[in-house]
Amino acid sequence: INWMGNRDDVANGWLGIHGTSKGAELALLSASLFSEIRSVVALNGFAVAFSGIVPWSESEDLPPAWLYNNEPFPYLSPKNPIDIALKCKEMWNERKGNPLGEWYAALTSNPVEVKNAEIPVEKINGSILLISGKEDDVDTTGLSNIAISRLKKFNSPNDCEHIVYSGAGHSIGIPN
């Protein structure tokens, strides 16, 4: 933020951030923490924080993806749903079904845990653009809509738009 803010080729007082997939989580979290970020584009991401990306395993715990001041953000899910993890691993290895969809559906199955892991987008000091592919293996459309619900709930004055493209999947940002 300091480096960008001190550049002559960056408009004074105006920084934006873009993230795709897991990076969209980071973009939304960063903008919720740092008021210098005035615009966010989240492409096929989530308005909730998930665990770190780890191979499906038998480990009982999943690590946080994001820390701030050495403290993890609340996330989905510290406890590994081992039975689902192993099922998804098998699906992935056999190239059968939608293991990512199964995995994220399992992690988001408890509404209380989802609520606790929501990113506080109402703290963002600027506009938000959410872009989702309707055919994504994961429900990024629904997980992005959480941001819109929070903005309404907290009467945020920020502009927010969610564009959903039919026929587009997780790689919507990559041409061809």
7-54 confidence digits (pLDDT tens): 888 888 889 999 999 999 999 999 999 999 999 999 988 899 999 888
Query: What is the pLDDT of the chain when averaged over all its residues?
Result: 91
The contacts of residue 57 (CB under 8 Å, 6+ apart) are 80, 82, 85, 89
* pLDDT confidence of residue 77: 87
Q: Does residue 176 carry a pLDDT above 70?
A: no
Q: Please state, in angstroms and as integers, the Cα–Cα distance from residue 79 to each residue in 29, 53, 61, 62, following that order.
A: 22, 14, 5, 6
pTM (global) more than 0.75: yes
133 to 107, 122, 137: CA distances (angstroms): 20, 24, 9
Query: What pLDDT score does 140 carry?
Result: 87
Q: Which token pair is 104? A: 């994220």
- Rounded to an integer, what distance in angstroms lies between the CA atom of residue 163 and that of residue 170? 14
- Return the pLDDT at 172: 77
Cα separation, 134 vs 141, in Å, equals 7
- Enumerate the H helices of the chain as residue ranges: 2-5, 22-33, 82-94, 99-107, 111-116, 140-153
Q: Which residue has the higher pLDDT, 105 or 171?
A: 105
